[in-house]
Structure 1
Amino acid sequence: MEILELPIEFEFNGQMQRIYPSLIVLNDQLTLVDTGYPNFLPLIEKEIIKNGFDLKKLRNIIITHYDDDHIGSLFDFKVKYPWINVIASEVESKFISVEEKSERLVQAEEMLEVLPNEEKEFGEWFIQQLKSLKHVSVDYKVKDGDKILDGACIVVETPGHTSGHISLYIPSLNSVITGDAAVNENEKLAIANPHFCLNIEKAEESLKKLQNLNAENYYCYHGGKLTLNTR
């Protein structure tokens, strides 16, 4: 079993940025954790192939939470690889399958009312970005403590950034895939963009929960892999 980070570089607002979806390799099968922004499927495919893997072995996609940079290409993956299983928490599943209006969209619409005029254009663009996301059904809904991927991966509920956010703990590798529950900021774990956290107190509790796992490796979607000396 191994975890690979997939560095995806792209330009946004005139600046080069990078995200790090994770690829879990287990028993010759692949599990992708989060799918990047819309139209990122080719970029992620390229990274997987570069690492020597065949996309025909992609079996699962785990979504840590409903944000456009995490679920943006989920629909495209499901269309191209219809056999994949989509895995998410019960709460986030409602937004992914559009049973309910997403928390992030509600937040964006509320924030638009109080944004200064110079930021309203971006706020309106962000709302349209969220509204244009294509949705899919979630095959497996998970909760805290559930063991998935043949028992090798433990689901860790990490609310705060969103209410149904999950992270993943892989004991055999002493590793955590954090989603946006933690970012690698100057080689330290930190809360991801506190301004957008739906509940900052829960976000702080979730960060502490991940830190208390005392893992050696934290695979952060923003900032990349952080390796700590746990001795």
Structure 2
Amino acid sequence: MKIAAGVEMLEITANIMGKQSIISPTLLWDNDTVILVDAGYPGQLQQFREAIEQVGLPFDKLTMIILTHHDIDHIGSLVSINQALPQGVRVLAHEEEKPYIQGEKCPVKLAQLGAKLDSLTPEMKVVYENLKAGFEKCKAPVDQTVTDGEVLPYCGGITVIDTPGHTPGHICLYLKESKVLLAGDALGVENGQLVASPKFINFDNALSIKSLAKLTHYDIETVICYHGGLYTDKVGQRIKELAKEPY
């Protein structure tokens, strides 16, 4: 779905534990650079290839992947996409996320499950083992780390906003020219309404709410949420409401 010039919200289907869902990575491009923001679940290379080509861009023109954080549904196809491109891609992420992506630290959600492994149901123990195996196959080097307030000189300027809480180094990206926020998992859309990331999947709920308060300083007209897709209804007002909610 075209959001603005050089901004396309992709819609990638996923079947997770028997449930069909859609994730919304974003494709950004200008005359020199094609950037994918987040890389889906494992096994979605072909879907990404088709989605990018449907936009009208050759898949092999992809030059960069920016990761909002290290969860498996955001880094899952990073390795396969990289391997499918003759020149590879440059991978960007926050410094706090780098060791998780590179496999030097145990991913947050995997560690949380592992800490209560003895009390997990048999079904959840299977989930844990599958998640562990998945992360092992997904680890990849990060070529460049980004910092809060940094403006990446691509596609009219991409502002990095540190929004920790969902994970230790989660980031959002702001496109000033089009007033679009790429929210990663800091926000979601449920039943047509913009919502904060669910507490039960956050690394630090209090920090997550503080991060939402940072977003109120930006002139945002459109939000692309990785889970839930597009939101355009009085965005600034809604984010202010969410930032005031008790955690």
TM-score by length of 2: 0.86
Deviations 1:118-138 (A, max 9, x none): 5333333333333x3332211
Report how many aligned residue pairs link the two structures. 230
- Determine if the alignment matches structure 1 residue 107 to structure 2 residue 112: yes
1:127-142 correspondence runs (5 A): 127-130=132-135, 132-142=136-146
Aligned-residue offset at 1:212 = 4.3
Is the Cα–Cα contact under 8 Å of residues 2 and 173 in structure 1 kept in the other structure? no
- Determine if the alignment matches structure 1 residue 165 to structure 2 residue 177: no
Is the Cα–Cα contact under 8 Å of residues 109 and 127 in structure 1 kept in the other structure? no
Is the Cα–Cα contact under 8 Å of residues 223 and 235 in structure 2 kept in the other structure? no
Aligned-residue offset at 1:92 = 0.6
| Aligned residue in 2 for 1:49 | 53
- Determine if the alignment matches structure 1 residue 185 to structure 2 residue 190: yes
Deviations 1:150-189 (A, max 9, x none): 3600000010010011110111110100111111123332
| Aligned residue in 1 for 2:241 | none
Distance 2:43 2:110 in 1: 20
Aligned-residue offset at 1:116 = 4.1
Distance change in 2, residues 1:83/1:200 (3 Å): same
Distance change in 2, residues 1:84/1:15 (3 Å): same
Is the Cα–Cα contact under 8 Å of residues 64 and 91 in structure 2 kept in the other structure? yes
Distance 1:118 1:74 in 2: 27
Distance 2:42 2:131 in 1: 13
Which AA in structure 1 matches 2:114? E
Distance change in 2, residues 1:136/1:117 (3 Å): closer
| Aligned residue in 2 for 1:88 | 93
TM-score by length of 1: 0.91
Is the Cα–Cα contact under 8 Å of residues 5 and 21 in structure 1 kept in the other structure? yes
Distance 1:108 1:149 in 2: 39
Aligned-residue offset at 1:210 = 2.5
| Aligned residue in 2 for 1:148 | 152
Which ranges of structure 1 fall in alignment gaps of 5 or more residues?
A: none
User: Could you tell me which of 72, 79, 83 is aligned with 1:75?
Assistant: 79
Per mean C-alpha deviation after superposition, the further-off stretch among 220-229 and 120-129 is 120-129
- Determine if the alignment matches structure 1 residue 26 to structure 2 residue 24: no
- Determine if the alignment matches structure 1 residue 196 to structure 2 residue 196: no
Distance 1:230 1:196 in 2: 23
Segments of 4+ moved more than 4 angstroms: none
Is the Cα–Cα contact under 8 Å of residues 108 and 127 in structure 1 kept in the other structure? no
Distance change in 2, residues 1:137/1:183 (3 Å): same
| Aligned residue in 1 for 2:70 | 66
Distance 1:6 1:37 in 2: 14
Aligned-residue offset at 1:10 = 2.5
